[in-house]
């Protein structure tokens, strides 16, 4: 099965270098490979020392590189989106007066990059697609978008276009509300469908996984742990952790020796917390990683991971178990703290909020009329107990 691997981590830790080394290693094993930069501040051109431009650039027989320009994708592939937004928001005087050619919604642009990657994946040209992402915060915002937007769309536009066609003249006369045109609803439905397919692809544990890149320093270790928890919350499969810039063991210089001790402490912590996930250590090289030769040394390191391109670990993020009064929902959330967690149950939705990250989990039908009796965190797993009304005969 063709693969998508997403690289994420804090700014400057080596995401692009590690992603590029994966791409080079993959192409050298004669697998048709695409390396995509989804970070607006592209630097793949610097790494390969070529001018890439906004189209797919061939680097070698098996290796292509692409630096995505989300603005260009937006106009090229989804020209109707602008009109749709105007139709949806502008008609009823919702105060959107300056919606013009350059309209933008925060984070929305990046979504087009993901949709574009899905389109490329669907062409079946590439065996391996590697995505070099922007630093953590932005990537998390990006990865939660497909699910979030699809959910909003379902909430706000639940009526199908056929009903719109019938209701539209009536609503205009009776309620002075102009419903979106059928054409707009068509576009909304297409986007909605694409978002669902995108989610399905990114969360398919056999196709897509996320690889974390970090450096053994306190702030970065903390952020890596948080990042991992949020990725679990959104059901992404993290399958390898790369600890980059590890100082060599034999070091004489007292300044570097001191740093070596600091690093050792955090490497140990990372090994303890990511006990179930493969870890690859990458040495701190005496030079920047620029050009194919430098990348080749990095390839040698990452190739220490057996079967580099396969999915390394498949976790089941959400699981329902039965107990005498109902069901227990089990969600793996490493490093979660009770005090950061808020849970809200509303009809068929379960809203989980951890600090400022939110996820809405649609519950199965049988839990429609249930209520939460208890929540527990044990061994990094959140257990939510639902008591179900006795007479209910619904099935999942
Ligand atoms: N192991 C290493 N040894 C020496 N230099 C390294 C190593 N890893 C990365 N670098 C250098 O560190 C700098 C940052 O690396 P890179 O661009 O891969 O990080 P990034 O996480 O993609 O950064 P950004 O968040 O800005 O996109 C580059 O100059 C790169 O050559
Ligand atoms: Mg980068």
- Which ligand is nearest the CA of 10, by number? 1
In a domain, 254, yes or no: yes
Give the pLDDT confidence of 88-102 residue by residue, as tens digits. 655 554 444 444 445
Count CB atoms within 10 A of the CB of residue 130.
26
* Same-domain status, 367 and 292: no
Is residue 33 very low, low, confident or very high in pLDDT (cuts 50, 70, 90)? Answer: very high
Among residues 273, 302, 331, the one where a domain terminates is 302
For ligand 1, atom 24, the nearest C-alpha belongs to 12
Structural domain total, the chain: 2
Q: Are residues 336 and 263 in the same domain?
A: no
Same domain for 261 and 374? Answer: no
Please give the number of the atom of ligand 1 that sits closest to the Cα of 286: 4
Q: Nearest residue CA, atom 4 of ligand 1?
A: 285
Is the CB–ligand 1 distance for residue 288 below 6 Å?
yes
Report d(CA 76, CA 58) in Å as an integer: 21
How many whole angstroms separate alpha carbon 236 and alpha carbon 7? 12
**Is the C-beta atom of 216 inside 6 A of ligand 1?**
no
Domain identity same for 68 and 36: yes
- The answer, yes or no, to whether residue 29 has pLDDT greater than 60, is yes
Most ligand 1 atoms within 8 A of CB, residue of 17, 49, 138, 256 to mutate: 17
Q: Is the pLDDT of residue 35 over 60?
A: yes
CATH number at residue 42: 3.40.50.300
**Domain C-terminal end among 270, 302, 334:** 302
The tens digit of pLDDT for each residue in 337-357 reads 889 999 998 877 788 888 877
Instruction: Report the chain's mean pLDDT, rounded to a whole number.
Output: 82
Answer yes or no: is the C-beta of 17 below 6 A from any ligand 1 atom: yes
Task: Output the domain CATH number for residue 332.
Answer: 2.60.40.790
The predicted structure's pLDDT at residue 20: 97
* Mean pLDDT computed over 11-35: 96
**The last residue of a domain, from among 277, 302, 327:** 302
Mean pLDDT of 384-394: 73
Q: Indicate whether 345 belongs to any domain.
A: yes
Residue 297 Cβ inside 6 Å of ligand 1? The answer reads: no
Answer whether 39 contacts ligand 1 (Cβ < 6 A): yes
Residues facing residue 24 across a β-bridge? none
Within-domain flag for 392: no
d(CA 343, CA 375): 9
Are both 114 and 203 inside the same structural domain? yes
In a domain? residue 310: no
Q: What is the span of the domain harbouring residue 362?
A: 318-387
For residue 14, how far is its CA from the centre of ligand 1 (angstroms)?
4
244 lines ligand 1 (CB under 6 A): yes
What does the pLDDT read at residue 361? 80
Same domain, 33 and 79: yes
One domain, residues 136 and 259: yes
Q: Are 268 and 260 in contact (CB under 8 A)?
A: no
pLDDT digit string (tens) for 205-256? 899 999 999 999 999 998 898 888 888 878 889 999 999 999 999 888 999 9
Judged by DSSP in three states, 375 sits in strand
Ligand nearest to the CA of 295: 1
- Same structural domain for residues 213 and 85? yes
The Cα-based distances of 51 to 35, 60, 133 in angstroms read 14, 14, 19
Residue 172 within any structural domain of the chain: yes
83, pLDDT greater than 70: no
pLDDT per position as a tens digit, 169-195: 555 555 555 555 666 666 667 777 887
Mapped onto helix, strand or coil, the DSSP state of residue 7 is: strand
pLDDT value at position 325? 80
Centroid of ligand 2 to alpha carbon of 2 (angstroms) = 24
Residue 157 falls inside a structural domain: yes
Best substitution site from 14, 24, 280 to test ligand 1's pocket, by max atoms within 8 Å of Cβ? 14
23 inside domain? yes
Residue owning the nearest CA to atom 26 of ligand 1: 12
Q: Is 187 in the pocket of ligand 1 (CB under 6 A)?
A: no
Same domain, residue pair 225 and 261 = yes
Take atom 8 of ligand 1 and give the residue whose Cα is closest.
14
Which residue of 6, 7, 16, 282 sits with most ligand 1 atoms within 8 Å of its CB, as the best mutation to test the pocket?
A: 16
Nearest atom in ligand 1 to the alpha carbon of residue 39 is 27
Percentage of the residues of the chain whose pLDDT score is greater than 90:
43
For residues 336-369, one letter each, b for 16 or more C-beta atoms within 10 angstroms of the residue's C-beta and e for the rest, the string is beeeeeeeebeeeebebebeebebbbebeebbee
Residue 111 Cβ < 6 Å to ligand 1:
no
Query: How much is the pLDDT for 289?
Result: 95
The pTM for the full model equals 0.81
Asked, for residue 355, whether it belongs to a domain, the answer is yes
| Cα–Cα distance measured from residue 91 to residue 288, given in angstroms and rounded to the nearest whole number | 54
């Amino acid at each position: 099965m063709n693969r998508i691997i997403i690289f994420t981590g804090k700014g400057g830790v080596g995401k692009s270098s590690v992603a590029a080394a994966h791409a080079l290693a993959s192409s050298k094993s004669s697998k048709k490979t695409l390396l995509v930069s989804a970070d607006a501040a592209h630097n793949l051109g610097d790494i390969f020392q070529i001018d890439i431009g906004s189209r797919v650039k061939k680097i070698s027989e098996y290796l292509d590189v692409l630096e995505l320009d989300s603005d260009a994708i937006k106009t090229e592939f989804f020209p109707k989106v602008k009109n749709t937004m105007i139709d949806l928001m502008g008609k009823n005087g919702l105060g959107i007066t300056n919606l013009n050619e350059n309209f933008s919604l925060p984070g929305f642009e990046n979504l087009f990059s993901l949709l574009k990657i899905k389109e490329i994946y669907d062409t079946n040209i590439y065996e391996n697609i590697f995505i070099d992402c922007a630093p953590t915060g932005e990537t998390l915002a990006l990865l939660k978008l497909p699910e979030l937007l699809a959910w909003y769309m379902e909430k706000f536009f639940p009526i199908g276009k056929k009903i719109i066609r019938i209701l539209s003249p009536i609503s205009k006369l009776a309620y002075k509300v102009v419903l979106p045109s059928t054409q707009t609803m068509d576009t909304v439905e297409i986007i909605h469908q694409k978002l669902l397919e995108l989610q399905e692809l990114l969360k398919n544990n056999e196709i897509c996984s996320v690889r974390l890149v970090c450096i053994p320093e306190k702030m970065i270790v903390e952020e890596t742990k948080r990042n991992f928890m949020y990725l679990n919350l959104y059901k992404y499969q993290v399958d390898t952790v790369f600890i980059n810039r590890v100082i060599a063991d034999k070091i004489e210089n007292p300044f570097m020796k001191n740093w070596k001790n600091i690093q050792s402490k955090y490497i140990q912590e990372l090994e303890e917390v990511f006990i179930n996930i493969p870890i690859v250590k990458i040495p701190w090289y005496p030079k920047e990683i620029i050009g194919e030769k430098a990348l080749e040394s990095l390839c040698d390191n990452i190739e220490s991971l057996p079967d580099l391109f396969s999915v390394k670990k498949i976790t089941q993020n959400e699981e329902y178990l039965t107990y005498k009064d109902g069901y227990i929902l089990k969600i793996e959330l490493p490093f979660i703290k009770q005090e950061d967690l808020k849970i809200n149950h509303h009809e068929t939705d379960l809203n989980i909020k951890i600090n400022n990250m939110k996820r809405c989990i649609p519950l199965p039908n049988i839990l429609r009329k249930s209520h939460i009796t208890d929540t527990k965190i044990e061994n990094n797993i959140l257990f939510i107990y639902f008591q179900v009304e006795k007479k209910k005969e619904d099935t999942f």
